[in-house]
Structure 1
Amino acid sequence: MRILLIRHGDPDYVNDTLTEKGRREAALLAKRAVSMNMGECYKSPLGRAKDTAAPCLEVTGKTAEILDWLQEFPAQVDLNKNPELEKAYPDVKKEGGYFLPRIAWDMVPGYWTEHEAYMDKNTWRETEVAKNSDLVEVYDHVIEEFDRFLAEHGYVREGAHYRVEKESDETVTFFCHFGISCVLLSHLWNVSPFVLWHCLALAPTSVTEVVTEEREQGTAYFRGLKVGDISHLYAGGEEPSFAARFCETYSNKEQRH
Structure 2
Amino acid sequence: MRLIFVRHGDPDYQNDCLTDIGRTQAMNTAARLHDEKIKAIYASSNGRAIETASYTAKDHGLDVQVLDYMHEIWWGDKDQNIDESQKIPFEGHPWSISYKLLTEHPEYTGDKEWSEHPYFKNNICMDYFDRINSGIDELLAQYGLKREGNFYRCMEECSDTIALFAHGGSGAILFSHLLSISFPIVLTTLPFGVCSVTIFDFAAMKGEMTIPRLEIFNDMNHHNEHNLIFNM
Asked if Structure 1 and Structure 2 have the same fold, meaning a TM-score greater than 0.5 normalized by the shorter chain, the answer is: yes
Q: How does 1:97-112 map to 2 (within 5 A)?
A: 102-107=92-97, 109-112=99-102
- Please say if 1:123 is aligned against 2:110: no
2:192 to 202, 210, 233: 202
Give the Cα separation in 2 of the matches to 1:124 and 1:73.
18
Structure 2, unaligned runs of 5 or more = none
* SS of residue matched to 2:212: strand
Confirm or deny that 1:211 pairs with 2:201: yes
What is the Cα-based RMSD across aligned positions, in Å?
A: 2.4
- Residues of 2 paired with 1:154 and 1:127: CA distance? 36
Seen in structure 2, the aligned counterparts of structure 1 residues 141 and 121 have a Cα distance that, compared at 3 Å, is farther
Contact 2:200/2:214 (CA < 8 Å) preserved in 1? yes
Q: Which residue of 2 aligns with 1:15?
A: 15
Q: Whole-Å Cα distance in 2 between the matches of residues 121 and 140 of structure 1?
A: 20
Distance 1:215 1:85, change over 3 A: farther
> CA, structure 1 residues 218+104, in 2 after alignment: closer, same or farther (shift >3 Å)?
same
Q: Which runs of 4+ in 1 moved over 6 A?
A: none
- 2:137 is aligned to 147
Structure 1 residues 84-113: Cα deviation after superposition (integer angstroms, max 9, x where no partner): 565731xx4xxxxxxxxx544542724442
2:181 is matched with which residue? 191
Specify the SS of the correspondent of 2:41.
strand
Q: Distance in 1 between matches of 2:61 and 2:206?
A: 37
Percent of residue pairs identical = 29
Bigger relative CO (Cα 8 Å, ≥ 6 apart): 2
Query: Which whole-Å CA distance do the structure 2 matches of 1:194 and 1:82 have between them?
Result: 25
Amino acid across the alignment from 2:139: F
Match of 2:6 in 1: 6
- Identify unmatched segments of 5+ residues in structure 1: 93-101, 245-257
Deviations 1:145-165 (A, max 9, x none): 111111222111111211111
Call closer, same or farther: CA 1:131–1:108 in 2, change over 3 Å: closer
- Name the count of aligned residue pairs: 231
- What SS class does the counterpart of residue 31 from structure 1 fall into? helix
Cα separation, partners in 2 of 1:220 and 1:6, compared to 1, 3 Å? same
Counterpart contact for 1:87–1:111, Cα < 8 Å:
no
Letter of the structure 2 residue corresponding to residue 146 of structure 1? I
For 2:224, the equivalent position in structure 1 comes to 234
Residues 79-94 of structure 1 aligned to structure 2 (within 5 Å) = 80-81=81-82, 83-84=84-85, 88-89=89-90, 92=91
- TM-score between the two structures when normalised by the length of structure 1: 0.81
Q: Which residue of 2 aligns with 1:36?
A: 36
Residues 36 and 118 of structure 1, relative CA distance in 2, 3 Å threshold: farther
**Are the structure 2 counterparts of residues 178 and 23 from structure 1 closer, same or farther at C-alpha, using a change threshold of 3 Å?**
same
